[in-house]
Structure 1
């Protein structure tokens, strides 16, 4: 399960905010209390004491607007029905399985485009406006699918539903970054991911209940959830937030935007961040092999598909129950150590599958790559919000989410093609690709500064 896939997301999974910790992943507990004059170094406020960096303390220190955002995202994910039931809906309307499958692919393409557009909208209009456009627009488009008479019109509406519905993702992570104290950002990211995962876990069951009434109830239910999020955003999210001059990695100011470049051209001109994006793409391609290649391998080994279900359930159970507790520990680690484990354990986990097609190795391998998710997920997905200039924060986040979505769309296709060509050696190939991703990630991620630039709560009213 990954919240990042959307999304994540991650549901995966699936996104997110700036990175924090206290020894490398995080900044200190507060802003610097002194200044630097000549060779005299200012004194930073001490990091939070052990026991003061958990979920409840984070919630107490989180502004009301950020809590409302977490609630809105959760409500929206509870009704994320279309992607799950789209194939059934279209075949019920009389379209062929091929047409239904193409529509699902169009939906995935829309998610990739939507992340990019959403990042740009967040930078240009602000996170609140981007969220309102996303939720109100997608609500109207969702309902339109019920009443469009032809297949081309349906494809267009499905693409727009997915695209517009993704606008809020970069905006949400930008807003969390700006509203949350810097030393709480990794934990708030883990809470954001938990909301995505819980919503994505419950959505199929709620959708099945609505589907027992009618497809109309299913689509109107998802539209209602989107409107509910829009209402929350309208009432609780600030129109403007206080945006301090950000600090980038290695203790220096954020890398300047290259001359003559703006928008996503400036993002991709950041060479180190581009390496990070390569790492995200390769990791997402490998990570999602459990959705396509793993069931093929389990079945080819003559095992009951119960073992596949057990492995997937193990992943979901551990992520939902353990990620927050693990984040309380790893948010204090240096960011590069967390990234090494978060990316590297994906390689180890899939390599374990190659040992033997026995249930024990399928379960152990799943446990290992699940550990990668709960150890590195919040930090790795928080990184884009602090990687570049503040004016491009939404685009940095949108680029990562788009690349991750592309990887999860390509992964099942590439994995099954390789499996049919080389059989169980696919797991060695997957491990090798994940290892390359780990090296690229370590090379591309800058170590965050330990001090200044802590985001402050919003200065303006939510009006």
Structure 2
């Protein structure tokens, strides 16, 4: 009897007759497990010190700037690999188990960086920290989707993003405080945060099969495995066989390559124009302030829009914003351009990041999420390199090229994204045959 009551606590509430998808109502009516994941995402970013301070740590230990830069690149590569592997593990082992593996494993590996005796072993430790630490992201999004009614998934994703953004904003300051003590305090602090997240998951998240959707999920798995046998595809091959979703992934890759230019190309362009870098700081601060304060309020409106309208504005305004940069190297255009592409983020961010969890069959949900997070991470990793190389070749025309690539990404998004409910209805109803 106790188990039944516990299961009911973990079940997502059904949609009311007149659903209220506001921020506070959604948060109040979410299950405890969802709140735990929101808290865990915030904690994980609040203590994300390694990526920020890795270069300083290595140069302080006597390594060259080139060696430190290579280690940072290895960290980025691990994040891409971790999302792919995490998506697969989430489908196989369940989101709770994968999150526990991710947090427990990364806590131990973080500390190992301090004691790696050689540069080669240190690189291996950095790669493993990034890879294992990334496992939880597809798993967390999978669990958020499974425990949340569909009409509230976009809003919950917006809340999750808010926690990540708040954590990322505060992390450099907390890291600096720990660094004033020692690098040991910095690394042990991040390991402790991972353990806190892991303990939270252990007690707050339901075991696999504890929520009501488990039985239906197993039935669907049986049916779709039979379909796999006839089509010869499984795992990520099945994901990429979804041509629409592959086009959506292309849109995310191109968008991430363009989006991250504000971290690499924009400061170069502002400096070359003879403008104070204060304006760069103001533009970045404007973006962070608007996203943190306005995204949830915007999501309350946007979550009811047709998905292609959200994609058009969410992806297309990135193109418009960067095209505005090309008008003239004056502070006013840098601020207006930043405002426009920030608007694209608060309009389209929650929907485009929630979409993978709703786009494919439930059995492959982790892989759909992992594929998106991997290509987005890949774009973020290679984007600054591509952007700066193009800027050195063509100068300020780089913003026109960025706008063009972003426009292509918008078209790809419009083709690749479809109403998840219609996609589900169009899928063969093979489950009834079993």
1:385 matched to 2:348: no
| Cα distance between partner residues in 1 of 2:18 and 2:24 | 17
Q: Match of 2:432?
A: none
What is the aligned partner in structure 1 of residue 290 from structure 2? 318
C-alpha contact (below 8 Å) 1:30/1:46 kept by paired residues: no
Q: Determine whether 1:349 maps to 2:317.
A: no
Separation in 2, partners of 1:362, 1:449: 40
* Equivalent residues of 2:248, 2:417 under 8 A apart: yes
Partner of 2:185: 217
Question: Which stretch has the larger CA shift, 170-179 or 53-62?
Answer: 53-62
Structure 1 unpaired stretches of 5+: 1-28, 32-44, 247-252, 454-463
Aligned to 2:213: 243
Rounded Cα–Cα distance in structure 2 between residues aligned with 1:220 and 1:378: 32
CA distance in 1, matches of 2:85, 2:14: 34
Matched residue, 1:60: 28
The aligned counterpart of 2:48 is 80
- For residues 46 and 443 of structure 1, what CA distance do their matches in structure 2 show? 33
Q: For 1:11-53, what per-residue CA distance to the aligned partner results, in whole angstroms no more than 9, with x for missing partners? A: xxxxxxxxxxxxxxxxxx957xxxxxxxxxxxxx7442xxx32
Give 1:452 shift: 8.7
Q: Is the 1:62–1:181 Cα contact (8 Å) retained in structure 2?
A: no
Range 88-97 or range 60-69, more displaced? 60-69
Contact 1:89 1:215 in 2 (8 A): yes
State the match for 1:173 in structure 2.
141
> Is 1:299 equivalent to 2:267 in the alignment?
no
Partner of 1:7: none
Q: Deviations over 1:198-227 (max 9, x none)?
A: 000000000000000000000000000000
Of 170, 191, 203, the residue aligned with 2:159 is 191
Which 4+ runs in 1 deviate beyond 4 A?
450-453
Report the count of equivalent residues. Answer: 401
Is the contact made by 2:90 and 2:138 (CA closer than 8 Å) also made in structure 1?
Answer: yes
Name the structure 2 match of 1:407.
379
CA distance in 2, matches of 1:70, 1:123: 21
* Conserved? CA contact 1:79–1:225, under 8 Å: yes
Q: Which residue does the alignment assign to 1:130?
A: 98
Q: Does 1:99 align with 2:67?
A: yes
Q: 1:259 offset after TM fit, Å?
A: 1.0
Distance 2:246 2:43 in 1: 33
In structure 1, what is the equivalent of residue 110 of structure 2?
A: 142
Contact residue 327 and residue 374 of structure 1 kept, 8 A: yes
2-structure distance, mates of 1:104, 1:274: 29
- Higher mean alpha-carbon deviation, 411-420 vs 65-74, is at 65-74
Spell out the pairing of 1:283-294 with structure 2 (5 A cutoff). Answer: 283-294=255-266
Give the C-alpha shift of residue 448 in structure 1.
Answer: 2.5
Query: TM-score with structure 2 length normalisation?
Result: 0.90
Deviates further, 224-233 or 442-451: 442-451
**What are the Cα deviations for residues 264-306 of structure 1, in whole angstroms up to 9, with x where unaligned?**
1111111000000000000000000000000000001000000
Q: Which has the higher helix share?
A: 2
Q: In structure 2, how many angstroms separate the alpha carbons of the residues matched to 1:73 and 1:367? A: 26
- Give how far 1:243 is off: 2.6
How far apart are 1:388 and its partner, in Å? 0.9
- What is the match of residue 360 of structure 1? 332
- Written as runs of structure 1 = structure 2, the 5 A alignment for 1:372-451 is 372-449=344-421
**Residue of structure 2 equivalent to 1:232:** 200
SS at match of 2:115: coil
Aligned-CA RMSD value: 1.7
Give the deviation of 1:124 after TM superposition. 0.3
Q: Which residue of the other structure, out of 200, 224, 230, is the alignment partner of 2:168?
A: 200
What does 1:21-40 correspond to in 2, within 5 Å?
Answer: 30=14
Structure 1 residues 451, 298: CA separation in 2 closer, same or farther (over 3 Å shift)? closer
Distance 2:375 2:18 in 1: 34
Find out whether 1:259 has 2:234 as its counterpart.
Answer: no
* Whole-angstrom CA distance in 2 between matches of 1:191 and 1:81: 22
Is the partner of 2:327 in helix, strand or coil? coil
Q: Which residue of 2 is the match for residue 329 of structure 1? A: 301
Bigger drift between 211-220 and 56-65 goes to 56-65
The counterpart of 1:110, out of the listed 78, 85, 96, is: 78
**Take 1:431 and 1:312, find their aligned partners in 2: how far apart are those partners?**
19
Distance 1:414 1:185 in 2: 34
- The verdict on how the C-alpha distance between 1:147 and 1:321 changes in structure 2, with shifts beyond 3 A counting, is same
TM-score for both structures, normalised by structure 1: 0.84
In structure 1, how many angstroms separate the alpha carbons of the residues matched to 2:317 and 2:424?
32
Deviations 1:328-357 (A, max 9, x none): 111111111011100000000000000000
Match of 1:70 in 2: 38
CA distance in structure 2 between the partners assigned to 1:57 and 1:450 by the alignment: 27
Tell me, yes or no, if the aligned pair for 2:108 and 2:191 is still in contact at 8 Å.
yes
